[in-house]
Each structure stands twice: as C-alpha cells, then as structure tokens.
Chain A
Amino acid sequence: MTTVIDAVQELPDKELLSRHAQGDDQAFGELVRRHRERMWAVAIRVLGDSEEAADALQDAFLSAFRGAHRFRGEAQVSTWLHRIVINACHDRMRRKMVRPAVPTDDATLDVLSNERTRHTTPDPTGHSDSAMDVHAALGKLPEEQRMALVLVDMLGYRVDEASEILEIAPGTVKSRCARGRARLLPYLAHLRNPGSPRDVTSPRGGDRRS
C-alpha cells in the first residue's frame, strides 16, 4: 500500500481484482482508493451514523478482499462492491436492532434521533437538523424501501443501476421508491417549507429538539 506503480493505477477494476486474487499485493489497495469515497457515501446515507458507516465500510472491504475469487465477470466491480457494502449495512442495522421493517412509534423515533445526536461524530460540513430529520424518517421505512431511496433519490443512481445493485427488477426499484416516498411524506413535509410551524406539519407534534 506504500508505493503504487503507475501501471496499477492504469489498470481497469476487473484486472485489479483478478490480480489481487492471484496474490498481487498492490491491486486491492488501488481498488479501495478508487471506490472508498463512493462506498462511504452509500454507507453513511444508509446508516446515518459515521461510526456505524465506518465499521460497515471496513467489513465490506475486508469481505471483498477475501471474496475476490467469488466475483464473476458479468457485473461491474463497482456494482459488486456496492452489493457488498449494502449487505454490510444491512447487517449493521440488524445488529443494532434498528428494525425499519417494524413500524416504530414516535417515542422510538425520538430515541433514535437522540442517540444519533449523542454518538455521531460532529459533521464538519455543518451538522444540520434537516439531515437528522431525514435520517430519522428513513429509519421508519422498511429496509428495502430505504435502500432503494438511498440509491435513487439520495445518490442519484439510475433505476437500472439500482436494480443491478439490489438485484431486483427495475419495476421493483420504482415501486419501492414510490412507496417509500409516500411513507416519508408526513415526516418531511416541514422541510419543504422551513418557515412553517412544525407543530402543524409534523405528524409528531411538539418540538423534539428542545
């Protein structure tokens, strides 16, 4: 991981993965450098917590490192990596017993939100309440809807890309997104118009930030 010859940097992903599987010491490091920012973007949005996202990313890259021989040429390496990251996030969520598939009541949501406030590393870009609200709201979605929305709406993947990553039909991506948006609607309505009184638009009422 110290010196990377130019040749390695020029190689396509698939070649790097194949070299890694054959014992090349440098190849995987280059793959990580290429993809870690993007994989971080996925993990942090799915999990909404820097510490969890970092753990998930490490899980995922170690998993990919060990499982490189499982990669089959049909998919893009980046698609394969996305799947591994999504799986790692899925597992983290399950271990944390944050179960989006089970409807949470508002008290649970507040607890989640507070926990994030306590544990999350300060956001250097300006920690925003709206980001917190969105993550709390995403936490109310069934996981499958959350994953689809993270990829399509938050990260801007095309439906066919998300379809390949999640290994579901494009129509399923669309319907999961649609149902997720409908479910998020009551929780995000106030963000659309920050000036409006929260008590009116928030389904929870009250001011949970106090």
Chain B
Amino acid sequence: MTSHVDAETLALSAEGLLEEDEENAVRRHVLDCATCADQQAQLAEVSRVLAEVPAPPMPEALAARLDDALRAEGEARRASGPGGAPAVGSAPPPPGAANTANVVPLRRRRGFGANRWVNYLAVAAAAVVVVGGGSAVLHGLTTTGGEAGAPPAASAPSPGSSGEGDTALSYQPLLVSTATVYTEAELAAQAQSVLTENDPTSPGGTEGDTEGPAEANRPDPSAVPSEVSSCAHRLGPQAGGHPLLIDFAEFDSGSGPEEAWAMYFGTEPGGGTQKSYEVVVVPAGCAGDDPVLATAEAPAP
C-alpha cells in the first residue's frame, strides 16, 4: 500500500466498520506510516475535544418562560372543557401550532417558504390537538362526505361505512405537516420516521376526545387545495392503493427545498394490517404530466 489512508477510512476503521480485508490493509499501512498514525491519533482527539466543549447552563429565565408557556397552554386546555381532553378549541393556535403535534416549529420567525401553508395548516393543527387521536381528518377528501357529526379521529382510518370497491375515498386520510425535507436518497428512512410518529392506522385518542368541540375545529375543507384530492386520485392507481397519510412538507432534489406533498399510499384503508406504504412525493400543486419527484416503499410502523 503506497497511498495514505484518508481520514474517513481511518475513522470508519476506528468504529470497526470496515470489511476485514480493508481493515487489515489499513492496519498494515498505519504501522509503517507515521503520517497516517498521527492522523489516527488526531481522530481520537476529535471525540475528546467535542466532549470537552463547554456549554452555557440553562438560563434561569428559560425555566420561568417554559412554565409560563405551558401554563398558558394548560389554561387554554382547561378552558376548552371539563373533559380534560387535550383540546385548545377556544384558544387561537399557539405559536407553532401550524404543524403536527410531534414537530412544532415556530413559524413566526423568518418563516421562509412555509407560510403559504399556514392558513389551513393552523386549522388542521388545532384539529390534531382537539381530536387527540393524532389525526387531522379532512372531510374535503372524502368524496362520499362522511357523517358530519362523527367523531373525527378515534377511528379515523376505519369509518363504519365500508367503501369497498368504491372509487371514492371512503375513509379519511391523515393530514400532517412534519416539516420534513424529503430527499430521494433518504426517502425510505424519512418515510419510516414520519410513519412512526404519524401512524395512520393507529386508533389513538382517548374517551374524552370524542366529546371535544371537534366539529368547530375540523379543518375547513375549502382551505385545502383541491389539487390534493385530485392528485390523490390521479396517483392512486399508479401507487396501487389509497392515500392514508399526506404530509405537507418539502422536497430537496439537490437545488434546495421546495414545497412538496408526500402521499403515503396503502392498500388497506381502515385496516390495521397495513404492512407497508408506497410513498410518492409530488411538488405542491401536483402539476404536470408526471409530477412524481420520488417514490419509496416504507414498512408500516
């Protein structure tokens, strides 16, 4: 071996991640090469330097600020009803509500790129909290209409109506905005992560959820672009299923994140036996003859 070993190979070697042949070659080379031996020693130092970086302690004021924010949130919750369901029905969406419950960025500061969604996502997010089942149910997508007074989330993907063989979306897809920046390379892993947090087949919710002022907080179907529904119908046959989860997020094809919709198609709307999802990412608006930016298969959580 004549050329030096690059730092990455040395680092992978230190973690025991190289194949045996390569590992042996690296070892032999390092034994005879002062430069690489030194590099190897410096790599070990990187971890030490990182471990020793001082970090400021939590500011005192932050503890009080967190308490205040949570107290306000708690008051909103109490004000919304004695049931104790996690509801913010009567309160405006607090900062950051324009997102799903598991990922709540504040959109107020330099809300680059995402603001166009906020109008209706804020509504959707309020519903996420109200219904408690983690499902923002969009009746605008159910071309059969659904029962207006039905509890929206306790059994979101499995409404009583059996729409078997029906071309209409006789179930209710879960709508979220996870702020994920999907990429082609990472799509499968990202989808899996999103599914873990937003399982469209999870019943979720508690008793109290169905008593909340759910109807008032249901997302306004007219606020969601109509393209969402038509896009789902368009892609359905190709993806071999029905959209069970739609993530209003972003996609980075290498030239920066663009708004995009990630549609998670499954074959078992309403069933708990979903094994995997076909994930199809399209640009927001779903325009073009072939809008698909990327696809992947992700196992059900």
Chain A residues packing against B (C-beta within 8 Å): 1, 21-25, 28-29, 32, 36-37, 40-41, 44-45, 50, 54-55, 57-63, 65-70, 83-84, 87-88, 90-92, 94-97, 121, 123-126, 128, 130-131, 134-135, 149, 153-154, 156, 167-168, 171, 174-175, 177-179, 181-185, 188-189, 191-192
Which 6 A-B residue pairings sit nearest by Cβ, starting from the closest?
A23-B84, A67-B101, A91-B105, A63-B104, A178-B11, A182-B7
Q: Which of A32, A45, A175 contacts B17 (CB 8 A)?
A: A175
Tell whether, in the assembled complex, residue B59 and residue A50 are in contact, meaning their CB atoms are under 8 Å apart: yes
Q: Which of B7, B69, B128, B209 contacts A185 (CB 8 A)?
A: B7
The total of interchain contacts (Cβ-Cβ below 8 angstroms) comes to 206
What is the distance, in angstroms, from B23's C-beta to the closest C-beta of chain A? 13
Within 8 A of A (CB), among B2-42: 6-8, 10-12, 14-17, 39, 42
Q: Which of A37, A58, A131 contacts B58 (CB 8 A)?
A: A37
The reply to whether the CB of B73 lies closer than 8 angstroms to some CB of chain A is yes
Tell whether, in the assembled complex, residue B56 and residue A123 are in contact, meaning their CB atoms are under 8 Å apart: yes
Interface residues on chain B, number (Cβ under 8 Å): 77
| Chain A interface, DSSP helix/strand/loop, else mixed | helix
Q: Which of A22, A54, A167, A191 contacts B65 (CB 8 A)?
A: A54
Set of chain A residues within 8 Å of B148, measured between Cβ atoms: none
The reply to whether the CB of B147 lies closer than 8 angstroms to some CB of chain A is no
Set of chain B residues within 8 Å of A182, measured between Cβ atoms: 6-8, 10-11, 43
Please name 20 pairs of A and B residues whose Cβ atoms are closer than 8 Å in the assembled complex, sorted by A.
Answer: A1-B71, A22-B206, A23-B208, A28-B70, A28-B74, A36-B58, A41-B58, A62-B73, A62-B94, A63-B96, A65-B70, A67-B134, A70-B204, A84-B103, A94-B257, A131-B54, A134-B50, A156-B51, A185-B39, A191-B49
Set of chain B residues within 8 Å of A84, measured between Cβ atoms: 102-103
Q: Answer whether A167 and B193 are a contact pair too, CB < 8 Å, given A29-B67, A68-B86, A156-B51.
A: yes
Chain B residues packing against A (C-beta within 8 Å): 6-8, 10-12, 14-17, 39, 42-43, 45-47, 49-51, 53-59, 62-63, 65-67, 69-71, 73-74, 77-78, 83-86, 88, 94-97, 99-106, 109-112, 128-129, 132-134, 179, 181, 189, 192-193, 196-197, 204-206, 208-209, 257
What's the Cα separation between A176 and B194 when bound, in Å?
21
Q: Which of A1, A40, A174, A183 contacts B15 (CB 8 A)?
A: A174
Tell whether, in the assembled complex, residue B110 and residue A69 are in contact, meaning their CB atoms are under 8 Å apart: no
Residue of A nearest to B104 (CB): A63
Tell whether, in the assembled complex, residue B84 and residue A125 are in contact, meaning their CB atoms are under 8 Å apart: no
What is the distance, in angstroms, from A99's C-beta to the closest C-beta of chain B? 8
Q: Which of B43, B84, B102, B208 contacts A87 (CB 8 A)?
A: B102
